[in-house]
Structure 1
Amino acid sequence: MSHAVLLLAHGTPDVLGEMAEYLSKVTGGRPMPEEVIEELKHRYAQIGLKETPGSEPPPLTKWTLAQGRALEAALDGQRVYIAMRNWSPYIADVVEQMRADGVTSIRAICLAPQNSRTSVGLYRRALIAAATGMEVDFVAGWAENPFLIQAFAEKLLPVWSSANADLGRKAPVLFTAHSVPCRTIMTGEASIAGARPGTPMQDTPDPYPVEAKRTAALVAEQLAPAGLAETDWYFAFQSQGVSGGPWIGPTVEDTLKALKQEGHLGVVLQPVGFVCDHVEVLYDIDIAFKQSAAELGLKLWRAESLNDSPTLTRALAEIVRAASTTESAEAAPAKVG
């Protein structure tokens, strides 16, 4: 039996002209208003996406490929593949390549650490549909992995220390994760988006908000020896959809206003729902939130993204090895879920 690792990411267009097609993949074919398409083209242009291919891929693709190479090296040559849900290389195409390469067993890790049945669940359904006849071990969430927590803490500590020195006092830390529509985390609603007709509804709330806040709490604990107290950090959901409908909060914008009203002079922001740079980091935080903060009279610092963090590689390698150990010890068929 030939085993291989598959890292799964969201995907991103390579050029601005692909935006409408890309968004149709994200929404499952639901048409988007032209003004939404143009707004997102503007945002992607602000972070460097061009009308023609550049000398290197967009940040999400660049860093995901780098993470795959680093993991493959850490696994002493075990093959690591990369696939995207909403753009090339598509999950179905990569699975076919794996099949052609003789792979019969896939250990899949979604590069979104916190599990959500409506986002991570779509990755799993796409993979299972493509991997007929292959064994699949799908890692649905790894929000509390110790090396993931350490990786975030390593990026947060230096910028928090620098902000404290700049302000002459402790700066609050604002952790964030990507918002999702309210309906998708409610009891019973989480299995609707992207599910086939007749799919049973879940009878428990989606775990995503709890897992996102748990990651933040664990990262904050890592900085406790440096002086970060429980009252020094906050959590908000960012990047609410531009197409309408209620999304979970609190929003970053509202939280920044509250911090200003409490008398704070600045804030350090760390997105713990993402493992690399992409538009929600490079535009939403570095451009939009910094502007919102400046208008309020707040300084805003951001912890660097994990990107090619060796500690992130250790987290991913540990997940792969732990699954291999369990598989060997139990001599059981690979699981899905």
Structure 2
Amino acid sequence: MADRAAILLLAHGTPDELDEIPQYLSNITGGRPMPESVIEEIRHRYSLIGKSPLTSLTLEQGRLLAERISAPVYVGMRNWKPYIADVVATMRADGIEKIVAICLAPQNSRTSVGLYRRAVASAAQGMIVDFIEGWADHPLLADAFAERLRAVWTPFSTESAAPVPVLFTAHSVPCRTIQSSDADIAPDPYAIEAKLTAALVAERIDGLAPGNWFFAFQSQGMSGGPWIGPTVEDTLTALHQQGVTKLVLDPIGFLCDHVEILYDIDIAFRDFAANLGMELRRPESLNSSSLLTTALADLAQRGLARISA
């Protein structure tokens, strides 16, 4: 604590109760109203999984990280409690002067990750902040995903007497959020970084040939306007037409379980695949993965070294 430095893990956040969903969605849209049909659909999805564990799992990731490093670890959410601004206020009260902020969305986007950066910058005025924007190519992140994937893919392939195809996914974003009409601004890196993570994971799986894995963007929103693709549904349909009957779906854009995994994949995509005559399996989410903790510790220690130099 000599430098009064701490780590701040940043995550999306999720409501604790079904009745909190309207306010939660309002936080996501910046107050723009959403159709009641959309609110009810989201409420229905949450009801099917019982409760999203995102907050509790992220807090556990923070606890595990704190055991590995010599600095305190805090957790702040962008769209729900504990809000980033409130957590930074607590850090100030605790005497923290320097922050290493790690966004638990490894693939950088000017919009999604950019919103985290702006939230931290607004709350942490006067404090020294080292904000880690993207770590999609971190070798330990790829190792962590590969460890989980291998545990499902290898026995599934053995059982099937042939290497099973893998469909990697990451959360989609609205097209408008990654487009820019300014020729001086570089293209948003999100789609490239998401596919890079997938490629790094795939190359770690012995027997998974380059032509036997695919990529799609999942969980396109219901707020209107085009979202980046291809969608999982279109990709599953195309693979079905090619004769694929068994598939592993691996979401490499998420670090823990939440509604986009427990509903979108485990219920919606699995049912969609079953209706096509396909068997769909997915690896266990990283959650409390020791390799993930090691990756976060490496990021944290590098950040602490930068702000202490």
Task: Specify if TM > 0.5.
Answer: yes
For 2:24 and 2:33, the matched residues in 1 are separated by: 11
Q: 1:133 to 1:327 in 2, by over 3 A?
A: closer
1:275-294 equivalence runs, <5 A:
275-294=255-274
SS at match of 2:23: helix
Equivalent pair of 1:107/1:320 in contact (CA under 8 Å)? yes
Equivalent pair of 1:188/1:205 in contact (CA under 8 Å)? no
Equivalent pair of 2:5/2:304 in contact (CA under 8 Å)? no
Equivalent pair of 1:188/1:204 in contact (CA under 8 Å)? no
For residue 253 of structure 2, the aligned residue among 257, 264, 273 is 273
For residue 76 of structure 2, the aligned residue among 83, 96, 109 is 83
Alignment match, 1:204? 186
For 2:166 and 2:189, the matched residues in 1 are separated by: 23
Equivalent pair of 1:68/1:82 in contact (CA under 8 Å)? yes
For 2:227 and 2:160, the matched residues in 1 are separated by: 33
Equivalent pair of 1:181/1:247 in contact (CA under 8 Å)? yes
For residue 40 of structure 2, the aligned residue among 1, 19, 38 is 38
Alignment match, 1:112? 105
Equivalent pair of 2:98/2:307 in contact (CA under 8 Å)? no
CA deviation after TM superposition for structure 1 residue 327, in Å = 4.3
Q: Which runs of 4+ in 1 moved over 4 A?
A: none
1:6 partner letter? L
CA deviation after TM superposition for structure 1 residue 205, in Å = 1.2
SS at match of 2:300: helix
For 1:161 and 1:205, the matched residues in 2 are separated by: 37
For 1:89 and 1:188, the matched residues in 2 are separated by: 36
Alignment match, 2:299? 319
For residue 237 of structure 1, the aligned residue among 217, 226, 240 is 217
CA deviation after TM superposition for structure 1 residue 202, in Å = 6.4
For residue 135 of structure 1, the aligned residue among 128, 131, 150 is 128
Equivalent pair of 2:128/2:307 in contact (CA under 8 Å)? no
SS at match of 1:132: coil
For residue 54 of structure 2, the aligned residue among 56, 60, 65 is 60
**Number of aligned pairs?**
307
| Per-residue Cα deviation, 1:145-185 (whole angstroms, up to 9, x for no partner) | 11101000000001011221232221100000000001111
Equivalent pair of 1:187/1:202 in contact (CA under 8 Å)? no
% of aligned pairs identical? 62
Equivalent pair of 2:250/2:282 in contact (CA under 8 Å)? yes
Equivalent pair of 1:4/1:103 in contact (CA under 8 Å)? yes
For residue 89 of structure 2, the aligned residue among 96, 104, 107 is 96
Alignment match, 1:310? 290
1:181 partner letter? P
Alignment match, 2:201? 219
Give the alignment's TM-score, normalised by structure 1.
0.89
For 1:313 and 1:239, the matched residues in 2 are separated by: 26
Query: What is the aligned-residue RMSD (CA, Å)?
Result: 1.2
1:246 partner letter? P
1:12-23 equivalence runs, <5 A:
12-23=14-25
1:75 partner letter? I
Equivalent pair of 2:217/2:229 in contact (CA under 8 Å)? yes
Unaligned 5+ segments in structure 2 are none
Q: Does 1:69 align with 2:63?
A: yes
